[in-house]
Structure 1
Amino acid sequence: MSISDRTFRTPQADLRLSQSSGSGIPIVMIHGSGSSRAVFARQFDSPLADAHRLIAFDLPGHGESSDARDPATAYTIAGLAQTTARLLDALGIDRAIIFGWSLGGHVAIELASFHHAVSGLVLTGAPPVSRGPLGMLRGFHANWDMLLASKKVYSERDVERFEALCFGDTASPSFREAIRRTDGRLRAGVARSMFAGGGADQKQVVEHASFPVAVINGEHDPLVRLSYFETVAYASLWEQCHVISGAGHAPFWEQPELFNPLLSRFAEAVVKQSTASPALQSQAR
């Protein structure tokens, strides 16, 4: 197994990407706000990378990708999903599992509302909320820490607090630098787009999905309401809403020995379903 890095130019940004040489169904991993593709290191350094074509990229304004050329349109949930779609098309991917964490989960749901390649969806730390402020309040804890998600300029104290919210005491030293590097205009733009109710109604997308949807959260996630996930009327929930014990907002990083087998099993279920019924790939989202 090998891992290669490339840069793709899209209309909105130059995206830095890593992918493994595994031959199984692609698993496209979308990171959260203030992070980068490096957060998925413990998936790349596992049997998943041998079994599947793992793909992770830095969102615009993050990591080694460029800032957006037009922040007003790119730094929204819909804009980030369109950029992701451009990347999938450039890579020639017509069938994939999309794994989205936190902001990446919301981007993944938006992507699933219009892109034919989504054959399975994995959501971690990303409640599929209805449009507008009320939906947000139902899916997320209402506390002062949530203001960090929309704050344009971070102090060093903000950087430290955001790191702790995302990773507890398990963060890699590089994660703090990734938070500092992030284009703060993205945080402000994404928050406005979610509160304004732009893009797809994420609750309806997940409730009407014909492809399998996996929900895997950390037991002690400080940002999202785990009880909310149980209220969603999933049409195709895989198994159950899984909760990783002893983990917070990033269980795939904090407890990969528990998370990775679930992701692997989900991938097997997606392949089995799509092989048994190929027509599902073209049904409505």
Structure 2
Amino acid sequence: MVVSHRTVRTEQADLRLSQSSGSGLPIVLIHGSGSSRAVFARQFDSPLAAAHRLIAFDLPGHGESSDARDPANAYTVAGLAQSAAQLLDIMGIDRAVVFGWSLGGHVAIELASFHRAVAGLMLTGAPPVSKGPFGMLRGFHAHWDMLLASKKTYSERDAERFETLCFGDTADPSFRQVILRTDGRLRAAVTRGMFTGKGADQKQVVEQAAFPVAIVNGENDPFVRLGYFETLAYGSLWEHCHVISGAGHAPFWEHPDLFNPLLVRFVDSVVMHGVDETMLARRRTKIG
């Protein structure tokens, strides 16, 4: 199994990505605010990368990607989803499972609202909330630490606190610098956009999804209200809302031994869902 790296130029930013040489259904991994594709190292170091084409990229303003050329439009959930969509189109990906973590989960939901390539959606630390402030308050805990999500300029102390909130005491030594590298204009713009209700109604997207939707959260996530996920009227929820014991905001990093098998099972179910849909379409064609 080989992991390759390249930079793809999109309208808003030059996106740095990594992909594995696996031949199975592509799995697109979208990281959270203040992070980078490096957070998925424990998926790339697993059998997943040999079985499937893992694709992880740095969002605009993050990691090794460039800052946005037009921050006002690019640094919204909708703008980030458009960049992701362009990346998929350039790479010729017409069907994939998309896993989104935290901000990346909201980007993934937005992407799923308009891009046909999304065959399955897995979310971690990203409650699908209705538009506006009341939706946000239902899905997220309201406490002072949440202000870090919208703070434009981070001090070293801010970066340390945000790192702890995201990873507990499990962070890689490189994560602090990745947090400090992030374009702070994005944090303020994304939070403002979610509170003002721009973009798709994420609750509706998830509830009305025709493709399988998986929910996997950490038991001790400091940001999200786990009970909120149980209130949604899912149309195609995979199994049930999974909670990984002892994990925080990033269970795929903290407990890959528990998370990765869930992702494998989910991808297998998406593949079978696609087979079933194809067979049903053929039957309809014959009947017609």
Task: Say yes or no: TM over 0.5.
Answer: yes
| Equivalent residue, structure 2, for 1:140 | 140
Partners of 2:27 and 2:134 in 1: CA distance: 32
| Equivalent residue, structure 2, for 1:96 | 96
1:278 CA drift (Å): 2.9
Where do 1:136-215 residues align within 5 Å?
136-215=136-215
Paired amino acid for 2:26:
P
Partners of 1:217 and 1:83 in 2: CA distance: 26
Paired amino acid for 2:154:
Y
On the 8 A contact 1:99/1:121 being kept in 2, the answer is: yes
SS in 2 for 1:64: coil
Paired amino acid for 1:260:
N
Partners of 1:279 and 1:172 in 2: CA distance: 45
| Equivalent residue, structure 2, for 1:43 | 43
Partners of 2:105 and 2:11 in 1: CA distance: 22
| Equivalent residue, structure 2, for 1:28 | 28
| Equivalent residue, structure 1, for 2:80 | 80
Paired amino acid for 1:41:
A
1:156 CA drift (Å): 1.0
| Equivalent residue, structure 2, for 1:3 | 3
On the 8 A contact 1:18/1:55 being kept in 2, the answer is: yes
Paired amino acid for 2:94:
D
Percent identity of equivalent pairs: 79
Q: Would the alpha carbon gap of residues 162 and 279 (structure 1) be closer, same or farther in structure 2, given more than 3 Å must change?
A: farther
| Equivalent residue, structure 2, for 1:271 | 271
Paired amino acid for 1:126:
A
1:276 CA drift (Å): 1.2
Where do 1:112-131 residues align within 5 Å?
112-131=112-131
1:280 CA drift (Å): 9.0
On the 8 A contact 1:10/1:86 being kept in 2, the answer is: yes
Normalising by structure 1, what TM-score?
Answer: 0.98
Q: Does 1:60 align with 2:45?
A: no
- Provide, for residues 229-277 of structure 1, a one-character-per-residue CA deviation record: whole Å limited to 9, x for no partner: 0001100000000000110000000000000000000000000010111
| Equivalent residue, structure 2, for 1:223 | 223
Paired amino acid for 2:160:
E
Partners of 1:120 and 1:278 in 2: CA distance: 15
| Equivalent residue, structure 2, for 1:12 | 12
Contiguous gaps of at least 5 residues in structure 2: 282-288
On the 8 A contact 1:28/1:54 being kept in 2, the answer is: yes
Normalising by structure 2, what TM-score?
Answer: 0.97
On the 8 A contact 1:2/1:20 being kept in 2, the answer is: yes
SS in 2 for 1:115: coil
Q: Would the alpha carbon gap of residues 2 and 280 (structure 1) be closer, same or farther in structure 2, given more than 3 Å must change?
A: farther
Count matched residues. 281
On the 8 A contact 1:58/1:64 being kept in 2, the answer is: yes
Q: Does 1:248 align with 2:233?
A: no
Paired amino acid for 1:109:
I
Partners of 1:27 and 1:233 in 2: CA distance: 26
Partners of 2:191 and 2:128 in 1: CA distance: 15
Contiguous gaps of at least 5 residues in structure 1: none
SS in 2 for 1:231: coil
Partners of 1:212 and 1:12 in 2: CA distance: 30
- Provide, for residues 129-152 of structure 1, a one-character-per-residue CA deviation record: whole Å limited to 9, x for no partner: 000000000000000000000000
Partners of 2:176 and 2:227 in 1: CA distance: 30
1:279 CA drift (Å): 8.4
